[in-house]
Structure 1
């Protein structure tokens, strides 16, 4: 530990360096506070979270939990994009910071946070550095990377023969840590932290806000020390070990605080949020993405619980883990024996002795299970024991907050809804729920809740089967299958949207209103209506419906209009099931008329746009023929199609699609279509190549033409004969796409008709008389190979 003495101006200051989530650190922090009985305990952490400390140390609050920080950069202090930022500050039972707070409560000592608020840390950090690292999925307040990742550390691990910093830390600070005298233990840690800091460039500390934070912490520590000046009191500060040498230099006057702090400014306090939330060991595991502290929280929780009464807590924990993973492996795979477990325990002890460790730790446990439980080669098929052990070492505990915890009302609503529907949120395991949404009112309500959580982007539930109105798939299904899973990010997402309402429904309604203010097209607004449909937001349906009406009148994008019309048709079909109470007829007519008006502009589309365009043309055929449609709509539709065919530069595929619809309506004969086909065949080389695309569009809407007599098939046969082998191979991909609209049975029928044109039957095709030269060469080579094998087997036998 580091002592800074000031007799007149300041009280005595003691700096305790720690590593986040270290059982040994927590043990020595607790013991040091018990021995020193300081007047105030200060802890690294944004100081706008002081109001949460009483809840954190409440008897009914159970770790793991986390402080959730958010910042909405409405003033543009961080970037012009005015983005939203968030981070987590997790606490486990053996977190040194929590141990300090709990000791303060037990001994009646005042406690406080002393670090910069989260938004100010962001302002002090350079883009892409520190808490502004874009590549990190989770942003974690107390990241130990400056303490655990540098050239000095890499060399240290190499010279000590250890594989990682975590193994190095466990060997030299954890395994013997709880038996050391506290002052000696902290002194050893301080030496390591000082060397790690000396090997870190000052620029790195400046650009991730480290120096600004230290200046603020030094300032806060000094304020508390001045309050106690002349009283003989003591100020104890618990901070990350990397910061301790910097704080000592600032507090001892060896470095100017102004230089360290830099020009960070202050971000608006109203834009910052801070809440306490339950967390899970799974989320706190360093190997699952959490960047700070030690991995294997389940394993080290056992160490923390056993340390007070056991002389060998690590050895006991290893035994527990070996037995538990062996039992689970035996249940799943059936091959593991008790002897294998005995061998694993013996190997863990042997490895510890070989590596100079007093007891086997987490890494000896993993190596022993790998060697004793995995039979044969270690691969995906044999890694079950390791996966089981990994899960046990991670742990599955989920924290809880006391009733006095100040959380947004939306979290209470979420938990109430989960209780109402019997959903499991006391573990992080994934569960499944099957809902009969059209026959069971309760199931429909649960589906609406799941859809609202999905819309709020909470990652709580996902639909794996059932009608999907956004993708317009599986509309005939009557049941939904959902998978849901609670984790800490669910609460974080709900806290983030809590500004939009006190309940899940209110937040969803507010976000729908926000989305309506954006510049939407007809397609996006219709998709929003389908989401409101699924969420059962009855009060918003008419509002969104009216907005769709406005946007469809204004939108001139053909594809956007087509997708909107498709969504409206689908919702009209499902109206009796979902019961929205909306009248879609007039809106569908508006979309239909607009789309018909836009059709002539689509004649010269590119080939890559052919599929959506043909789908839109076919959709109009359905819409104009629906029950209740105005008779004039279909006539106008056919008139426009006929005019499109007169455009000499119409896309060949679209031309085929249009002719197919006109043929199906009776406005064109098969002879007329054959004449158009022959026009392509007898035209330029470019037109000849467009024939395959014409067939693709024609078969999309009128594939029955092929089966009417032999005339059309003979024309196809003539087309194949008119192109060379090289040209045929070039056209083959498009021809495959054209014939993809036929069923396998129809393909067989076409093949039989084509063979009949040439006077051939199925037997003639399957039993060929002539043999191609390459077939003959392959058969000869195969015969020689088989004869050689048979001769070798005969010689071997005799």
Structure 2
């Protein structure tokens, strides 16, 4: 007899019920399921007694491509029900789809990604015909809350319409051809067994029908599989399992999954949204699911102190019933309940569409009531694997490493980086951080290689998801060292020489102790710095490399020639880029930080550089005098020359001195703050040095005092940004010196505290003065 095809929607309770009923009724000899065929020898792992949801995680890596995919399974997944019910009646259950590493899944992170979303023309017409805005609402009305009678026929009609004349993409065509090969092969086996009477009555119960083959796949594939399976088999026997190319690494493991990961509102692109609602629908039916959803939303809202009155509940129930009747639903569907609750409980205007109206993730700024409604639909269930489930070697290696460094418990861990034990513990924890494994987070330690800090503190945090993260990280290697090195190498391959993440990548490489990779990365950096176009990104690399060069005793990076080459190339390139910068661009903190890194390199490693201190001071003078250079660079150049000349005149010439340079900058109040920001970024200590009336602070104060009120108001926003370079303690010291300079009394700390935004206060004062001047002009001011 021909195969019995059941086209299903992934994670659909209605389809799961149909699969269960069909298996029990037909008692087939074979059940073929859409799933990775390379797991057929390990199906017993799926039957160990896990708490769902779980997922089959698959990974693949070669020199050209890295891929990971998930095949999630929950209680109401038709594929899971087919596996469970098929085994219960004694059928041979087989996965018949291509392995997850296959190029057919190259652009798909999820095996069960909805074909309806990829081929949406027909579903769009159906949504318009039934007056609904989303495929999920359409599906609920047609199948989930509709009577079960005739469900199989309605599903066939629906999926025939969805598939229509659509040309599947190359990946789907490859998958369908492979699944059809399996169907033809198993049909041939079933016919042979039926002819000999084998397989009939072998079950302990009523027996199975060896001639019956049940095929459970995504409904989009069913029309194509029916047509392909009717053609003659190109070769006899079951299709060969595809083998990864030589040198490739691949594998599959079971991982715990969660309702949040399944939820379309959290970004999942397959099956049904609102998994908690559909779990209740699967267990108790649509009426109980609707009641439970309403109760869950109200409970969450009241727990978070959102007022929900009895009148609101009555109104929500009435709206829900009315919407269900209007939409032709025999019992309220999910969107009926949600729309009824939203209509009764949301009292404000909504600035965004309701997420269930279009299956969209929650947008920032969503109404609090809507947020709680979506959370109630999603639920918080997390799956759990049976203890006997095989795990990749990395899971065991990580557990042993954590136990060895004393990080297996919940107590904080302090690592002394000057000892071998502390450095080993630090590298272990940084490798886990790099792999995205939760459980520990660093609260103190060196940052970006520039801090002379020799201890790290790691606090224990929530461990939810740690097992799943370790299993998934097992795709990168069998040990922490190997997995972290693979991830770093992947980042190094995908991070271009002009990427702003180069500094973070370099520091992470050192923190993880990947010495070989560090040398390769430094070599790449040294070779490409001469073409780098962004001084800000170069500055970050320079600061990191300088910190590593200075503190090599901590990281073991040593003062290698490669580090020296990076320092020399970065300094030369930053200076070349800033000298050629022209135009008005406002203050650029990253560019100023790059010049600060140049200053620090000249201070701490001058012997490594081709550029001398004298050359840099002369270049800084040229930039400072260049009227076309951005204001922040001109101020930074003054500061850089000041630091390099050990307090000498930053601008020798016909009109020397900082005050004259500041006065020229003050010719345009809009750029004064940018100029000062550059100065403060490079010469903060010199500005705050107490040298009496000849100090830089006195010069800056004199320039600001010369501004008119209107000019000061224009300059104020940039001035505030400029003084942000000073930490609070230094700002308080500056305020105290200004009070003393004017012979006043008062609290410096109080001077830094205002009742409102200083810009608003200054604008208000300017407005009052303008009003007063206008009244005086017309003689309307009343004498006091």
1:697-726, Cα deviation, whole Å (9 max, x unpaired): 666433268964369899889999999999
1:548 Cα deviation from its structure 2 partner: 9.0
Find the counterpart in structure 1 of residue 79 from structure 2: 97
User: Could you tell me how far 1:386 is from its partner in structure 2?
Assistant: 3.7
In 2, distance between residues paired with 1:102 and 1:683?
A: 83
How far did 1:495 drift? 5.0
1:219 paired with 2:191, answer no
1:157 corresponding residue in structure 2: 127
Q: Pick the aligned partner of 1:201 from 154, 158, 166.
A: 166
Q: What is the Cα deviation at residue 531 of structure 1?
A: 3.1
For the 8 Å contact 1:323–1:341, the answer to whether it is kept is no
Q: Does the C-alpha gap of structure 1 residues 637 and 669 become closer, same or farther in structure 2, counting only changes over 3 Å?
A: same
Moved more, 145-154 or 237-246: 145-154
1:454 is aligned to: 433
Contact 2:12–2:77 (CA<8 Å) still a contact in 1? Answer: yes
State the secondary structure of the residue aligned to 2:28: coil
Distance 2:620 2:300 in 1: 70
**Aligned-pair CA distance for 1:321:** 2.9
Conservation of the 8 A alpha-carbon contact between 2:83 and 2:93: yes
Change (3 A) 1:676 1:452: same
Report Cα offsets for 1:599-646 as digits up to 9, x if no partner: 99799453679624531353146527xxxxx9x999x96666677689
C-alpha distance after superposition, 1:242-289 (max 9, x if no partner): 222222222334x9999xxxxxx9863855433332221111122322
Alpha-carbon deviations, 1:68-112, whole Å to 9, x = none? 2333354xxxxxxx2222222111111111111111211111011
**2: CA distance, partners of 1:713 / 1:328:** 57
Deviation by residue 1:574-605 (Cα, 9 ceiling, x = unmatched)? 789xx657776999999989999999979945
Aligned to 2:335: 363
Which residue number in structure 2 is paired with residue 352 of structure 1?
A: 324
Distance 2:95 2:212 in 1: 16
Q: Which residue of 2 aligns with 1:145?
A: 115
Residue 358 of structure 2 corresponds to none
Q: Given the alignment of the two structures, is residue 20 of structure 1 paired with residue 1 of structure 2, yes or no? A: no
Q: Please name the residue that 2:269 is paired with.
A: 291
Q: Which residue of 1 aligns with 2:96?
A: 114
Shift of 1:414: 4.7
Alpha-carbon shift at residue 53 of structure 1 (Å): 1.9
Kindly indicate whether residue 504 of structure 2 is the aligned counterpart of residue 504 of structure 1: no
**Which residue of 33, 40, 58 maps to 1:50?**
40
Deviation at 1:187, TM superposition (A): 1.4
Q: Does structure 1 residue 29 correspond to structure 2 residue 5? A: no
Cα distance change of structure 1 residues 115 and 713 upon mapping to structure 2, 3 Å threshold:
closer
Q: Which residue of 1 aligns with 2:219?
A: 241
- In 2, distance between residues paired with 1:732 and 1:160? 59
Q: Distance in 1 between matches of 2:36 and 2:695?
A: 83
8 Å contact from structure 1 (residues 596, 637) kept in 2: no
Give the whole-Å Cα distance in 1 for the aligned partners of 2:662 and 2:374: 71
1:198-597 to 2 correspondence within 5 Å?
198=164, 200-202=165-167, 205=168, 207-232=169-194, 233-253=211-231, 268=245, 272-306=250-284, 313-333=285-305, 335-337=307-309, 340-341=312-313, 344-345=316-317, 347-374=319-346, 383-414=367-398, 421=407, 449-456=428-435, 458=436, 460=438, 466-467=444-445, 469-470=447-448, 472=450, 486-487=464-465, 491=468, 494-495=470-471, 497-498=473-474, 500-509=476-485, 530-531=507-508, 534-535=511-512, 537=513, 566-567=543-544, 570=547
Deviation at 1:513, TM superposition (A): 7.7
Aligned to 2:199: none
1:89-138 C-alpha deviation (Å, 9 max, x unpaired): 1111111111111112111110112223345452xxxxxxxx454xxxx7
Q: 1:15 to 1:509 in 2, by over 3 A?
A: closer
Shift of 1:223: 0.7
**Distance verdict in 2 for CA 1:714–1:295, change over 3 Å:** closer
- Partners of 1:532 and 1:570 in 2: CA distance: 14
Alpha carbons 1:603, 1:647 under 8 Å: kept? no
- CA distance 1:569–1:267, change in 2 (3 Å): closer
In structure 2, what is the Cα distance between the partners aligned to 1:213 and 1:468?
Answer: 50
Aligned CA distance change for structure 1 residues 775 and 588 (closer, same or farther; 3 Å): farther
> Within 2, Cα distance between the matches of 1:156 and 1:781?
73
1:619 aligned to 589, 600, 606, which one?
A: 600
> So what's the TM-score if we normalise by structure 1?
0.69
Rounded Cα–Cα distance in structure 2 between residues aligned with 1:554 and 1:154 = 53
The count of aligned residue pairs is 699
Q: 1:153 to 1:471 in 2, by over 3 A?
A: farther
Partner of 1:209, secondary structure, is helix
After superposition, give the CA deviation of every residue in 1:451-476 in whole Å (9 maximum; x if it has no partner).
Answer: 222323x3747958544522858969
- Partners of 2:112 and 2:508 lie apart in 1 by 39
Task: Give the conservation status (yes or no) of the 8 Å contact 1:73–1:271.
Answer: yes
* Aligned mates of 1:647, 1:376 — CA distance in 2: 60
Stretches of structure 1 that go unaligned for 5 or more consecutive residues are 6-11, 75-81, 123-130, 259-264, 307-312, 425-432, 625-629, 757-761, 787-798
- 1:501 to 1:330, Cα distance in 2 relative to 1, 3 A: same
- State TM-score, norm by structure 2: 0.70
